[in-house]
Copies of this chain bind each other. A is one copy, B any other.
Amino acid sequence: MPAFFIWCSDYIFKNLPGDTAMLVLFTDYGWHDPYVGQVKGLLAHHAPGVPVIDLLHAVPDFNAHAGAHLLHALSAPFPVGAVFICVVDPGVGGPREAVVVEADSRWFVGPDNGLLSIVTARAEKVRVWRIQWRPEGLSDTFHGRDLFAPVAARIAAGEFPHTWLSSKEVLNIQFDAAELPRILYIDHYGNAWTGIRGGLADPAATTIDLKGNILPWRKVFSDAAKGEAFWYVNSAGLIEIAANRASAAQLLGLAVGDVVRLSGSPDSRLH
């Protein structure tokens, strides 16, 4: 990784010794519906005193591919010991397996549909388990509450549920672990996150081609003219398309899934 790139978030959890018990929710449940609250009621009961963090409930619906890259970027700064409940699960109730992944001392509980595969592929030390336990009365549609949450609660409470799990060599579904040159997420300001990590591109020499628009690099928003669209490396370490005091998504008509092309990048995979 080029020296010019320091991922800004790396430092933030390094100050305290030891593991930090913390449950982190990463789902496409939406914020408005009662799904998150039902999961939290269960967590408060089974892992009392463990803080529960809503990291994201707006993962693009049914899009495990975008979710997998977002999960990698957003989970990296969390402390060792954090337990992520990950739900983008259109195949719930079907044959897909449920798994636990330990990746560099963080824990991920969710479906084996690719969602956990980028954090798994990019970690140095990985262990994988199949969840073989099935609670009485398991619903067909809400494994986040009925299956993943109880497992995650026990891990966060320091009671690893060995008897509920069986070891597994690898995940069944493994996405390509290279960069994903597409729009992953559009935030409420209209900024568009891509699946390309900032460290792979030399900003000064790189433009982005997005639906025919050639976008230059700007270090910060105030370096761009008012309303100008540009790219920069965002606070999650990903290349982001933005506009100064304007919505890049509206300006350029962007949607999740749009293809992003880097030119001048030293990394030929992205040409």
CB-based contact B7/A137 at 8 Å: yes
CB contacts (< 8 Å) of A175 on chain B: these are: none
B221 touches A46 (CB 8 A): no
Quick one: copies of this chain in the complex? 3
List chain B residues, Cβ under 8 A from A139.
8-9, 235
Binds B, one of A12-20, A122-130, A201-209, A261-269: A12-20
Chain B residue contacts of A35, Cβ below 8 A: 187
| Bound-state Cα–Cα, A189 to B188, Å | 19
Tell me if A34 is interfacial: C-beta within 8 Å of chain B.
yes
Q: Residue A135 at the B interface, CB < 8 A?
A: yes
CB within 8 Å of B: which A25-42 residues: 30-38, 40-42
Q: Interface size (A, Cβ < 8 Å)?
A: 72
Enumerate chain B residues within 8 angstroms of A16, measured Cβ to Cβ: 45-46
Interface segment, one of A52-60, A97-105, A108-116, A248-256 = A52-60
Q: Does A214 contact B (CB under 8 A)?
A: no
